[in-house]
Amino acid sequence: MSSLRLNLVAVIVVLALAIRPSVSPIPTKTWHVHVVNNLSNNQTLFLHCKSKDDDLGEHKLTTGTESNWKFKENFFQTTLFWCHLRKPDNFCNNFKVFWNEDFFQFRCRYKDCIWTAKDEGIYLKNIPEGRDELWQKWKQPPCN
């Protein structure tokens, strides 16, 4: 390979690394996502989560239980997971449970994203501040 071509390849690699999002210093670290059922009156939570590449299947969570998974974020830090949650009264919500933004990942302390379904809506645990933040209220069906 000529030195000009080698230099061009090196420049392209450096530019590609420079323009990718830089939220986390280690893009292949392991993340954990938890979805917890904290609904009152022993309500079952219906859950279906997936990414572009992985369908995690449908689950029924009884009160006090959770569904969780771990994964490694892709090199370009474009990994995205979302979930559909539904209560027995058919109120529901579709929302992202993992994406690459600093304000979101800070709340997860850059490793554990904890979502909790409560009667009022879906909460994200702000781990550094030790509190749950209302993220989404329940919607009447259909949830699009």
Digit-coded pLDDT (tens) for 99-142:
888 999 999 999 999 999 999 999 999 999 999 999 999 999 88
Percentage of the chain lying above the pLDDT 90 cut: 66
pLDDT: which is higher, 81 or 24? 81
What are the residue ranges of helices labelled H in the chain?
A: 3-19, 102-107
Q: Tell me, yes or no, if the pTM score tops 0.85.
A: no
Average pLDDT over residues 73-87: 91
| pLDDT for 18 beyond 70 | no
Digit-coded pLDDT (tens) for 23-73:
445 556 899 999 999 999 999 999 999 998 899 999 999 999 999 999 988
CB–CB of 128/106 below 8 Å?
yes
| 122 burial level (CB within 10 Å; 0-12, 13-18, 19+) | buried
The domain ranges of the chain are 3-137
